Amino acid sequence: MKSDATQGQVADAVKGNWVDRLAPSPTRPYLRLSRADRPIGTWLLLLPCWWGVLLATAATDGNWLKTLWIAVGCAIGAFLMRGAGCTWNDITDRHIDSGVTRTRSRPIPSGQVSVKQALVWMVAQSLIAFGILLTFNINAILLGFLSLATVAIYPFAKRFTWWPQVFLGLAFNWGALLAWTAMSGSLGWSAVILYASGIAWTLFYDTIYAYQDAEDDALIGVKSTARLFGDTPRPWLRGFMVGACLLMTLAIILSLGTGNVLALALALGAPWAMGWHMAWQLGRFDVYDPQVCLRLFRSNRNAGLLAALFLAIAAVL
């Protein structure tokens, strides 16, 4: 017999998470639908936002109160929009999820939440996030609206391409564009290149993640880079790692120039630190061990935070 705390728990949730321990019972299926019991996705959506706002602050000597609000607003927005996006993903994937061992315990396929209830929950999260977006400038607001296209398309990508991770990257790193624009007032090439760096990073970590489900995906006909690369993903992962680091390096150089050599040197520590962590992951990666894949995937929070730390130090100078 399951305890009240673990009743309805999703298979890949973090053990002892706050949803299971603290959330009122009626709210748990909805919080699980939003992946609140699996916070890594919120971090991966948020970190490119922080990269964007910190690099823009370093480039423009911006107002730190404005920087702080954008960082906080992005954190709240990332939680809400990740929740709304995951809800949409689970609505569209409910029949696929019921056939995959790791996902059949999710709230919709397990019968804890109906599709209609999930739709209402998705809209509620989106409206609150929209209220936060309205505090930013008009260009950032427009970018926020454009991001909805990537969110809407992503759940269907695995049905028509071997590269659904590209579409995830387009959606999950949009915050680099939005936060840069919210801070600087307009979109710049540095932000676009930083966005591309984030997409390469997503290809790296989400390919590792996809190896958990490669066998089930093959049985039900779902495509992924894990299935495409098979037993030899390392050259691809190495390429994504190098691409992410080189593109972030270029974005930093373009945005900071040589006006403040110390700030530039510290900012360039961001891609090096993140690259070191990705190389560490690659050394421990095992395509045949789902638990290792999940642990390495989750560790990308630390990889992204290392980059954010160096950009924050550079922005202070």
Q: What is the pLDDT of residue 2?
A: 47
HEC profile of the chain:
CCCCCCCCCCCCCCCCCHHHHHCCHHHHHHHHHCCCCCCHHHHHHHHHHHHHHHHHHHHHCCCHHHHHHHHHHHHHHHHHHHHHHHHHHHHHCHHHHCCCCCCCCCCCCCCCCCHHHHHHHHHHHHHHHHHHHCCCCHHHHHHHHHHHHHHHHHHHHHHHCCCHHHHHHHHHCHHHHHHHHHHHCCCCHHHHHHHHHHHHHHHHHHHHHHCCCHHHHHHHCCCCHHHHHCCCCHHHHHHHHHHHHHHHHHHHHHHHCCCCHHHHHHHCHHHHHHHHHHHHHHHHCCCCCHHHHHHHHHCHHHHHHHHHHHHHHHHHC
Tokens linked to 166:
């590209």
Is the distance from CB of 8 to CB of 107 less than 8 angstroms? Answer: yes
Instruction: Give burial (CB, 10 Å; 0-12/13-18/19+) of 259.
Output: exposed
User: Between the CA atoms of 209, 179, 74 and 258, what dihedral angle is there, to the nearest 10 degrees?
Assistant: 80
Q: What does the pLDDT read at residue 50?
A: 98
Domain boundaries, given as residue ranges, for the chain: 26-316
Query: What pLDDT does 135 receive?
Result: 96
CB environment 153-187: b (16+ within 10 A), e (fewer): ebbebbeeeebbbbbbbbbbbbbbbbbbbbbbeeb
Residue 155, pLDDT score: 85
* 48, 171 Cβ separation under 8 angstroms: no
User: What is the residue-level pLDDT of the chain in tens, covering all 317 positions?
Assistant: 344 445 667 766 777 888 888 899 999 999 999 988 889 999 999 999 999 999 999 998 778 899 999 999 999 999 999 999 999 989 988 887 777 777 788 889 888 999 999 999 999 999 999 999 999 999 999 999 999 999 889 888 988 999 999 999 999 999 999 999 999 999 999 999 999 999 999 999 999 999 998 887 888 888 999 999 999 999 999 999 999 999 999 999 999 987 789 999 999 999 999 999 999 999 999 999 999 999 999 999 999 999 999 999 999 98
Q: Could you tell me which CATH class the domain 26-316 is placed in?
A: mainly alpha
